[in-house]
Amino acid sequence: MLVYTFQITFTRASYRANYKCTRVNNDDLRECLSSSLPLSIRAVYPCNTLTNQNSFQYQCDHFNVSRLSSNRGGRISHSPAVVVDVTDSSDIQNVVKCATKLNYIVNALSGGHSYEGYGLGSMYNNIIINMEAINYININQHDRTGTFGAGTRLGPIYYRIYQYDNYTINAGSCAWVGLAGIALGSGYDFLARLHGLLSDNILEMKAVNAQGELLTINQTHEPELYWALRGSGGGLFVIVTEFKLRLVKSPSLVRSFSFFWYANVTKLVMQRYQSLLFDDKIFNLSNNIFWQMGVNSIQIEISITYFGIELEEFNRIISLLLTTLPTPYKTEVHQRDWLTFVYLNSDIGDLNGDHRQLLLDNLTYPAHYSKAKHLFYDQPISNHSLDRLIDRLALGNGQISLLFSPWDGYLRTIPVHATGFPHRHFKFGIQFMVSWNDTQHEEQHMSW
């Protein structure tokens, strides 16, 4: 393994230094793809690549490659040799074979949003395989499994499998997220405390390796890849084209309480959240309950969501939370079915909207500029650090936000080394995010 790592690192370092100078044009790539792919497959050679502009052998198209990441968070400059809109695994095999033969870097894109646009790669003149069209959904009600194309968005998945006896998957809260990215990275959502991570429910995958071979990956066939891809497989080892997932029963009812306090009591609320989170004897939270804390310089919110019918446990948790805290300035109470809950948490709908239209449309993430980081914690944040954190938040004028999420419940009953996801032993995570509307103050926001 050490030798292998050294070889890869050394090769990549040398390759990166000379890559721009060694490629005269992409005519060989175009010839290979043209002879390997069906005529129906769209291959776009962007004009913003210098070698494409200077070639008279084919016509290039003007388009903004960053649109493919559907988020303006990415700050990597992208100049691909080609973007290939594939429709099945055989297309991907043929593209990979051409790339291997001609020494091109390949990056796979499942079509959803990425904070940094990693699906577009980071190398000049690379090949982007766009898998958005591989978006089939096949449900097997007998064994409660679903087979999904790697380019399927979560919205269509949530809507369609709900029609099959109210099933769902434990994936993300945004309808426009692509399946492959979130499944290979772990897949954390509201049902994580109840059903674990999405990667925990991956039963089998189809994938193309660097030789262009189509592999079946499961617990008994390619077991090491099966281990690695469930939590640390975002384009590192193979290109996954299909997932077979274990379906879970969606909650029959979703109840949620949201409590809001002004920023002057932020420290008190954060201390209470942490004290309960780390006190298993008193709190002893049911896996049916999911609670998050959102913080900015204007207000702090704790949202408690209960996936069930019995309210005794739910009321106990609320009472424990509020006992030592000032009265919230606002409280919101909601009771919804699962699909409505998913619809509203996509943050682009309203109660009068059409679930079908929202969840089935080819959605893209609402365009804005942003930067986000995620950190994990296995112990409470100290009072001194909370003070410093709150002081920093005040500088953001409401544009910096923190989201605290618990990492306990069922997902922690699975051994840390059972899959490639390494963060299972932590107690909670925080997503730090700053967003803005234009490039004028980008440097200031990035500094925050």
Of 130, 165, 193, the domain-final residue: 130
β-pairing, 145-149 vs 106-109, is unpaired
Residues 299 and 407 in one domain: yes
How many structural domains compose the chain? Answer: 3
In percent, the amount of the chain with pLDDT more than 90 equals 55
Name which of 106-110, 159-163, 171-175, 182-186 the model is least confident about.
Answer: 171-175
Residues 65 and 36 in one domain: yes
Asked if residues 155 and 168 have their Cβ atoms less than 8 Å apart, the reply is: no
Name which of 200-209, 374-383, 435-444 the model is least confident about.
Answer: 435-444
Q: Which of 38, 84, 34, 33 is nearest to 61 (CA)?
A: 84
Question: For residue 71, what pLDDT is reported?
Answer: 56
Does the pLDDT at position 142 exceed 50? Answer: yes
Q: Which helix (H) or strand (E) holds 432?
A: strand 428-436
Does the pLDDT at position 292 exceed 50? Answer: yes
CATH of the domain at 277: 3.40.462.20
- Cα atoms found within 13 Å of the Cα of residue 4, Cβ hemisphere only: 1
| Banded model confidence at residue 6, pLDDT cuts 50, 70, 90 | very low
What is the DSSP code (8-state) at residue 255?
Answer: E
Q: Taken in order 358, 359, 362, 366, is the CA torsion positive or negative?
A: positive
Tell me the mean pLDDT in the region 182-209: 94
Q: Taken in order 390, 392, 398, 404, is the CA torsion positive or negative?
A: negative
| Banded model confidence at residue 352, pLDDT cuts 50, 70, 90 | low
Query: What is the length of the chain?
Result: 448
Residues 292 and 374 in one domain: yes
Residues 178 and 165 in one domain: yes
| Residue 427, C-beta contacts closer than 8 angstroms, at least 6 positions apart | 277, 278, 377, 378, 379, 406, 407, 408
Phi and psi angles of residue 51, each rounded to the nearest 5 degrees, phi first: -65, -35
CATH of the domain at 245: 3.30.465.10
Residues 373 and 315 in one domain: yes
Residues 225 and 270 in one domain: no
Tell me the mean pLDDT in the region 112-117: 76
Does the pLDDT at position 119 exceed 60? Answer: yes
Tell me the mean pLDDT in the region 137-143: 95
Question: For residue 79, what pLDDT is reported?
Answer: 77
In a domain, 282, yes or no: yes
Across the chain, what does the average pLDDT equal?
84
Tell me the mean pLDDT in the region 184-194: 92
Phi and psi angles of residue 231, each rounded to the nearest 5 degrees, phi first: 125, -15
In angstroms, the CA 7 to CA 418 distance is 28
In a domain, 94, yes or no: yes
Tell me the mean pLDDT in the region 83-100: 96
Measure the CA angle with vertex 78, ends 76 and 83; round to 5°: 140
In a domain, 351, yes or no: no
Residues 195 and 74 in one domain: no
Residues 113 and 143 in one domain: no
| Banded model confidence at residue 15, pLDDT cuts 50, 70, 90 | very low
- Six token digits for residue 71: 């988020």
Residue 311 exposed, middle or buried by CB count within 10 Å (0-12, 13-18, 19+): exposed
Question: For residue 269, what pLDDT is reported?
Answer: 96
In a domain, 102, yes or no: yes
In a domain, 54, yes or no: yes
In a domain, 350, yes or no: no
Residues 192 and 259 in one domain: no
Residues of the domain holding 57: 26-130
Question: For residue 204, what pLDDT is reported?
Answer: 98
Of 78, 96, 130, the domain-final residue: 130
Residues 164 and 62 in one domain: no
Does the pLDDT at position 96 exceed 60? Answer: yes
Does the pLDDT at position 208 exceed 70? Answer: yes
Residues 316 and 200 in one domain: no
Tell me the mean pLDDT in the region 187-212: 95
Question: For residue 17, what pLDDT is reported?
Answer: 39
In angstroms, the CA 307 to CA 321 distance is 18
Question: For residue 268, what pLDDT is reported?
Answer: 96
Note if the pTM is more than 0.85: yes
Question: For residue 44, what pLDDT is reported?
Answer: 85
Of 230, 249, 268, the domain-final residue: 249
In a domain, 359, yes or no: no
In a domain, 13, yes or no: no
Residues 437 and 289 in one domain: yes
Question: For residue 114, what pLDDT is reported?
Answer: 76
Question: For residue 197, what pLDDT is reported?
Answer: 95
